[in-house]
Structure 1
Amino acid sequence: MSSHSGAPTRSRSSARRSPAWRTARRLARLALACTLGAVAALVAASGPGGLFVLVVGLAGAVGTAAGTWWVLSHRGLVRAAGVMLAVVAPVAVLVLYARADVWPAALAAILLWGAAVLSARAALYRLRRPGGMRAVACAPPRQPVLIMNPKSGGGKVGRFGLVGKAEALGARVVLLDTSTSVDVAAIARRAVAEGADLLGVAGGDGTQALVAEVAAEHGLPFLVVSAGTRNHFAMDLGLDREDPARCLDALTDGEELRVDLGTVGGLTFVNTASFGVYAEIVQRPEYRDAKAGSALDALPDLLLGYAGRPLDAQSDGARLEAQQALLISNNPYAAPGPMAAGGRRPRLDLGVLGVVGIRVGNAAQAAELALRGTRATGLQVLTAHRITIGPDSGSIPVAVDGEALSLPAPVTCGIRPGALRVRVPRHRPGPPVVRPPMDWHAVVTLAFTQSRSGPGTRG
């Protein structure tokens, strides 16, 4: 197991003299003051009333988490009961607060606790703010070739006039024939053989990964046009996801980023390779047309072990056993957890994989996961340069950048640091602003650290 700070470490003395560190310490102290204020609000509710607010609120959270677990892991009457519990639990909390006349204390405690969390996150962000990816100036390409999927993102290629705009900027456009199976990598290699000095894609993340592999293989710059549905890769590159045409500015006024590529069983991915529950679901033929319905139908069997199989994995220095789901990402997500792939990666050049393993077997563990987040026993979060997923024979379903595949077991995932030259517009929205995971121990340490001692700061 390894970790990567994503930025050089300053000397302790200079870090503590910096305005950012002093601001972070003030915010940490504000967070603790708000926390004490929340406790005081509960105590002010005549003793037992304050305890009532705390116990009822906690019970409501546990009930909601347990109900959600029953919805996901069962069918029939148990699922119906789960829906009812997930809805009734928070409503019951509000009703009990109203009947016990503890609304003022409850509201004050909630507001103060919210302020404490916001202040703590702001302190950690200033203390651990990651440096951005380094961009270098570059000359415009002479023979750029862009591969466009006209159906991607619900027809964004046509809706934003991407073909005409790209050709007006000097690019040759290859429009994919979506009525038949197309070998996108072969098209990219043919373009290279014909003299292309830049390869680009207007399409989904899966198509981008195929062309990115060819670009990396030949050392050519790669251009991403955010014409997919979710555009996770484009978002983490800091591109404009609302107007894909702005990505084409990189053809005439661009700069380059060096980013990593993930590998899974010899294949390239730009975002994630998923194993276990999610990978099993996307294999189903009905998933493409009814994602939510097919997932809800499949989850009970997968979560309770009636179908699929738990996964064992061995990373650089850690072993993960009997995982229901494994998410391997090209660089770690800022807020790792069950929904990590819906989050953001502040950097794509750290040279490590993000690894999230999930094992939840009952309602109690689901409630713990909801309450404790990354500290829950059912969640494993780490980074690695290489991870191998068992068993030792047969095949394993894998979802690679959302595409359903089956690979020979065991499957090894790795990272290719700085393998891809990505051409981006010089003027772009920029990478997402992400907050570090909550760490109250670090907040307390920072709040009571004097300028002559304490932890260093990442710049």
Structure 2
Amino acid sequence: MEASDSRESSRAGLLARVALLCALAAVVVLLAVTGMGGLLILPIGLAGLAAAAAGVWLLLAHRGVVRWAGAVLAVGAPVAVLVFYTRTGLWSAALGALVLWSAALACARSALRRVREPHGMHAVAGPLPRHPVLIMNPKSGGGKVGRFGLVEKAEQLGARVVLLDTSTYTDVAAVARRAAAEGADLLGVAGGDGTQALVAAVAAEHDLPFLVVSAGTRNHFAMDLGLDRTDPSRCLDALTDGEELRVDLGMVAEHAFVNTVSFGAYAQIVQSSEYRDAKAGTALDALPDLLLADRAGRLEAQADSIRLESQQALLVSNNPYAAAVDPITAGRRPRLDLGTLGVLGVRVDGPAQAAELALRGTQASGMNVLTARTVVVHSDAATIPVAVDGEALQLSTPVICSVRAGALRVRVPRGRPGAPVTSPPLDWRRVIALALGRHRPTPSAAEPSGGSTEGPDDA
């Protein structure tokens, strides 16, 4: 074991040195190929990025002529930068520097990954289920239940399958409670994350193992559990050769969630009846009113002891994501058992702040990234729209989000692809230390904490 660790440390040191050499070479290329004129590449590129971000803001936050002007700026700024590089002969140096810098980043991240201490979710053995019940949505994920023969395989493995009637409303939680009352010793779902959350709450209530079958469209929960999202039938292997993970369950009011709860702009957009059929068009039509709303119509949130004011959008996640994400695309969570909520607040009041966000990312003044045990969302309205794992709801204010630590027993196959490896934060001081042979291992995910790790001023 020590020899293996030593080899990993040696490789990490080598990668760190390569990263520093590539970063230095990027600077040398700019100066050697074009002289001091090469220094123009960076500020001009950043100016183009800022202008494009400002154009995107105008495109999203306005209508009519201003929207068209924003679209022209969003597209025209990067094109103008490329034209400038080409006409001044800087394009070859810019391309070379970009390739070298990309290589430096890749090597630096790989080096940091090699020396961090493994700290994943701990799986334990559990008894084989004798009376498993799986609830399946035949329309979920574009018909994955039928396409992958999930009903037949589950029944061959001894499970009872309840196929939902999608032609009418079905109370999925009631179906799960009935199955538990009839003696089910495992509850599972082949469906989207919203359906997963409903059954997960029942499984946690009865302390029953919960089986996730990745038959939804995006399957974020399945991904973070390390399950196979390309072939949902492999999830059923847990019925005969599985183990258990103890994970947290998020709560918003009386509703459970396994991924995220969204407030503000995105939550209001998904309330629209047209959203499912025309997501982009519906969002573009609604965003100007949402982004330019006065402060009285915005959200106030209390994340433990930290107050977030005048937020346009707020995302609360069941455990923090590895990097800041937006409510639509989401990202990855290295751990689901930290007993904390991830919190992402966004406030962008104009093109200048949009440009700052593009240049500074999570360090921008309009972005707040933190963790908390409890999040309370306030509004002047009696009820506000909330998207719970993508499902549109109206909840009474104040809305309280919390986390039930270790509430859910998730049964997973022993042979699963594994959760995607997430990179630790890129810290060049640590890269330099690795290159010099001095380093301290860092954990792959944050440990549970009693409060927020970042405040509005830190984020």
Give me the TM-score of the superposition, normalised by structure 1: 0.91
Map of 2:450 onto structure 1: none
Q: Deviations over 1:232-251 (max 9, x none)?
A: 11111111111111111111
Quote the offset at 1:19 in angstroms.
4.3
Map of 1:11 onto structure 2: none
User: SS of the counterpart of 2:230?
Assistant: coil
Q: Deviations over 1:336-373 (max 9, x none)?
A: 13368521111111111111111111112111111211
Structure 2 gaps, min length 5: 445-459
Quote the offset at 1:379 in angstroms.
0.8
User: SS of the counterpart of 2:370?
Assistant: strand
Q: Give 1:262-341 correspondences, 5 Å limit.
A: 262-305=250-293, 309-338=297-326, 341=329
Number of equivalences: 442
User: SS of the counterpart of 2:297?
Assistant: coil
Map of 2:360 onto structure 1: 372
Quote the offset at 1:458 in angstroms.
3.0
- Contact residue 52 and residue 75 of structure 2 kept, 8 A: yes
Q: In terms of mean alpha carbon deviation, does 242-251 or 47-56 score higher?
A: 47-56
2: CA distance between counterparts of 1:294 and 1:120? 41
User: SS of the counterpart of 2:54?
Assistant: helix
Question: In the alignment, which of 44, 49, 62 is matched to residue 32 of structure 2?
Answer: 44
Q: In terms of mean alpha carbon deviation, does 404-413 or 297-306 score higher?
A: 297-306
2: CA distance between counterparts of 1:330 and 1:130? 21
Quote the offset at 1:382 in angstroms.
0.7
1:457 partner amino acid = T
User: SS of the counterpart of 2:89?
Assistant: coil
- Contact residue 157 and residue 239 of structure 2 kept, 8 A: yes
2: CA distance between counterparts of 1:284 and 1:340? 15
Say whether residues 1:59 and 2:24 are aligned partners. no
Question: In the alignment, which of 421, 424, 433 is matched to residue 433 of structure 1?
Answer: 421
Quote the offset at 1:436 in angstroms.
2.6
Quote the offset at 1:393 in angstroms.
6.3
Map of 2:80 onto structure 1: 92
- Contact residue 263 and residue 315 of structure 2 kept, 8 A: yes
Cα 1:19–1:67 shift into 2, 3 Å: same
- Contact residue 137 and residue 191 of structure 2 kept, 8 A: yes
1: CA distance between counterparts of 2:88 and 2:18? 31
Say whether residues 1:80 and 2:65 are aligned partners. no
Give me the TM-score of the superposition, normalised by structure 2: 0.91
User: SS of the counterpart of 1:248?
Assistant: helix
Quote the offset at 1:57 in angstroms.
1.4
1:201 partner amino acid = V
Quote the offset at 1:431 in angstroms.
0.9
Map of 1:457 onto structure 2: 442
Say whether residues 1:136 and 2:132 are aligned partners. no
Question: In the alignment, which of 149, 154, 161 is matched to residue 149 of structure 2?
Answer: 161
Quote the offset at 1:48 in angstroms.
3.8
Quote the offset at 1:66 in angstroms.
1.5
2: CA distance between counterparts of 1:28 and 1:69? 38
- Contact residue 224 and residue 420 of structure 2 kept, 8 A: yes
Q: Deviations over 1:242-272 (max 9, x none)?
A: 1111111111111111111111112110000
Structure 1 gaps, min length 5: 1-13
2: CA distance between counterparts of 1:400 and 1:66? 30
Q: Give 1:112-261 correspondences, 5 Å limit.
A: 112-128=100-116, 130-261=118-249
1:176 partner amino acid = L
Question: In the alignment, which of 351, 355, 358 is matched to residue 339 of structure 2?
Answer: 351
Map of 1:424 onto structure 2: 412
Quote the offset at 1:400 in angstroms.
0.3
Question: In the alignment, which of 77, 89, 97 is matched to residue 101 of structure 1?
Answer: 89
Percent of aligned positions that are identical: 68
Moved over 6 A (4+): none
Cα 1:307–1:267 shift into 2, 3 Å: same
User: SS of the counterpart of 1:116?
Assistant: helix
Question: In the alignment, which of 4, 27, 30 is matched to residue 18 of structure 2?
Answer: 30
